[in-house]
Amino acid sequence: MGVKHVCIALIISFLFSSKYCSAIENITASQELSQGQTLISPGEIFELGFFSPNNSGNHKYVGLWYKGISPQTVVWVANRESPLAVTDARASLRIGNDGNMELVDGNQSFVWSTNVRVPSNSSVATLSDNGNFVLQDGMSGEKLWQSFEHPGDTFLPGSLLGVNVKTGQKYVMSSWKSDSDPTLGKFTVGISTTLRPAQLFIWNGSTPHWRSGPWARLKFIGMPEVNSSYQKSSFALVEDVEKGTFFLSYESYNSSILSRTFISSEGVAKKMLMENANTWYVDWMSPKSPCDVYGACGPSGICNASESPICKCLKGFVPKSNEEWSKGNWLQGCTRQIELLCEKNTSNPTSQGEKKDGFQKFSNMKLPDFHEYVYAPNNIDSCQTWCLDNCSCRACAYVYGIGCLIWSEGLVDIQEFAVGGEDIFLRLAHEELDEGQKNTKIIIILTTVSSVFVLTALLWTFLHRWRAKQKTEKKQTRGTFHIIQESDSLRSTLNYTQQQEPSELPIFDFNSILVATDNFSVQNKLGQGGFGSVYKGKLKDGTEIAVKRLSSSSGQGMEEFKNEMILISKLQHRNLVKLLGRCIEEEEKLLIYEFMPNKSLDNFIFDERRKAQLDWATRFNIINGVARGLVYLHRDSSLRIIHRDLKVSNILLDENMNPKISDFGLARIFQGTIDVENTRRIVGTLGYMSPEYALRGIFSEKSDVFSFGVLLLEIVSGRKNTSFNYDEQHQSLISYAWQLWSECRPLDMMDKAFEYSYPLSQAMRCIHVGLLCVQDHVIDRPTMPDAVFMLTKETDLPRPKQPLFTFQTLSAREIQQHSESKCSTNEATISILQGR
> Which 624-683 residues touch ligand NAG, going by CB under 6 A?
none
Q: How far apart are CA 647 and CA 688, in angstroms?
A: 7
Stretch binding ligand NAG (CB under 6 A), from 152-160, 386-394, 680-688, 779-787: 386-394
Task: Check if 615 is active-site.
Answer: no
Q: Cβ closer to ligand NAG: 322 or 352?
A: 352
> Which 18-47 residues touch ligand NAG, going by CB under 6 A?
24-26
Stretch binding ligand NAG (CB under 6 A), from 104-112, 475-483, 620-628, 653-661: 104-112
Interaction of residue 556 with ligand NAG, rule CB under 6 A: no
Residue 99 CB-density burial (10 A; 0-12 exposed, 13-18 middle, 19+ buried): buried
Interaction of residue 283 with ligand NAG, rule CB under 6 A: no
Q: How far apart are CA 180 and CA 55, in angstroms?
A: 9
| Nearest distance in Å: CB 631, ligand NAG | 17
Q: How far apart are CA 699 and CA 567, in angstroms?
A: 18
Select from 32, 67, 106, 370 the one that contacts ligand NAG (CB under 6 A). Answer: 106
Please report how many Cα atoms fall inside a 13 Å half-sphere around the Cα of residue 605, on the Cβ side.
30
Q: How far apart are CA 735 and CA 787, in angstroms?
A: 20
Residue 172 CB-density burial (10 A; 0-12 exposed, 13-18 middle, 19+ buried): middle
Q: How many residues bind ligand NAG (CB under 6 A)?
A: 42
Residue 220: phi and psi, rounded to 5, are: -85, 125
Q: How far apart are CA 418 and CA 172, in angstroms?
A: 31
Q: Cβ closer to ligand NAG: 405 or 579?
A: 405
> Does 143 count as an annotated binding residue?
no
Interaction of residue 613 with ligand NAG, rule CB under 6 A: no
Q: Cβ closer to ligand NAG: 795 or 819?
A: 795
Residue 15: phi and psi, rounded to 5, are: -60, -45
| Nearest distance in Å: CB 194, ligand NAG | 15
Q: How far apart are CA 195 and CA 199, in angstroms?
A: 8
| Nearest distance in Å: CB 472, ligand NAG | 35
Interaction of residue 347 with ligand NAG, rule CB under 6 A: yes
> Which 179-208 residues touch ligand NAG, going by CB under 6 A?
179-180, 204-205
Q: Cβ closer to ligand NAG: 23 or 804?
A: 23
Interaction of residue 519 with ligand NAG, rule CB under 6 A: no
Stretch binding ligand NAG (CB under 6 A), from 40-48, 325-333, 344-352, 653-661: 344-352
| Nearest distance in Å: CB 54, ligand NAG | 4
- Check: CB of residue 631 under 8 Å from CB of residue 788: yes
> Which 292-311 residues touch ligand NAG, going by CB under 6 A?
304, 306-307
List Cβ<8 Å contacts ≥24 apart for 752-756. Answer: 752/718, 753/611, 753/612, 753/614, 753/718, 754/615, 754/616
Q: How far apart are CA 476 and CA 497, in angstroms?
A: 22
Stretch binding ligand NAG (CB under 6 A), from 38-46, 345-353, 730-738, 752-760: 345-353
Q: Cβ closer to ligand NAG: 278 or 347?
A: 347
Q: How far apart are CA 333 and CA 321, in angstroms?
A: 8
- Check: CB of residue 126 under 8 Å from CB of residue 136: yes
Interaction of residue 321 with ligand NAG, rule CB under 6 A: no
Q: Quick check: helix, strand or coil at residue 135?
A: strand
Interaction of residue 393 with ligand NAG, rule CB under 6 A: yes
Interaction of residue 434 with ligand NAG, rule CB under 6 A: no
| Nearest distance in Å: CB 107, ligand NAG | 4
| Nearest distance in Å: CB 216, ligand NAG | 12
Interaction of residue 423 with ligand NAG, rule CB under 6 A: no
* 474 Cβ contact partners less than 8 Å away, ≥ 6 residues apart: none
Interaction of residue 348 with ligand NAG, rule CB under 6 A: yes
Stretch binding ligand NAG (CB under 6 A), from 110-118, 413-421, 572-580, 766-774: 413-421
> Which 116-135 residues touch ligand NAG, going by CB under 6 A?
121, 124
Q: How far apart are CA 308 and CA 310, in angstroms?
A: 5
Per-residue binding letters, 58-97, with ligand NAG (x by CB under 6 A):
---------------------------x--x--------x
Report the sign of the C-alpha dihedral through residues 663, 667, 671, 674, in that order: negative
Q: Pick the catalytic residue: 645, 663, 751, 786?
A: 645
Q: How far apart are CA 269 and CA 202, in angstroms?
A: 8
Q: How far apart are CA 359 and CA 380, in angstroms?
A: 12
| Nearest distance in Å: CB 418, ligand NAG | 6
* 687 Cβ contact partners less than 8 Å away, ≥ 6 residues apart: 647, 710, 720, 721, 722, 732, 807, 828
* 567 Cβ contact partners less than 8 Å away, ≥ 6 residues apart: 497, 639, 641, 664, 667, 669
| Nearest distance in Å: CB 788, ligand NAG | 14
Q: How far apart are CA 257 and CA 774, in angstroms?
A: 30
Residue 190 CB-density burial (10 A; 0-12 exposed, 13-18 middle, 19+ buried): buried
Stretch binding ligand NAG (CB under 6 A), from 385-393, 446-454, 669-677, 746-754: 385-393
> Which 217-276 residues touch ligand NAG, going by CB under 6 A?
225, 227, 229, 254, 256-257, 267, 275-276
- Residue set of the binding site: 548
List residues binding ligand NAG (CB under 6 A): 24-26, 54, 85, 88, 97, 105-107, 121, 124, 138, 179-180, 204-205, 209, 225, 227, 229, 254, 256-257, 267, 275-276, 304, 306-307, 345, 347-348, 372, 390, 392-393, 406, 408, 416, 419-420
Annotated catalytic sites, by residue? 645
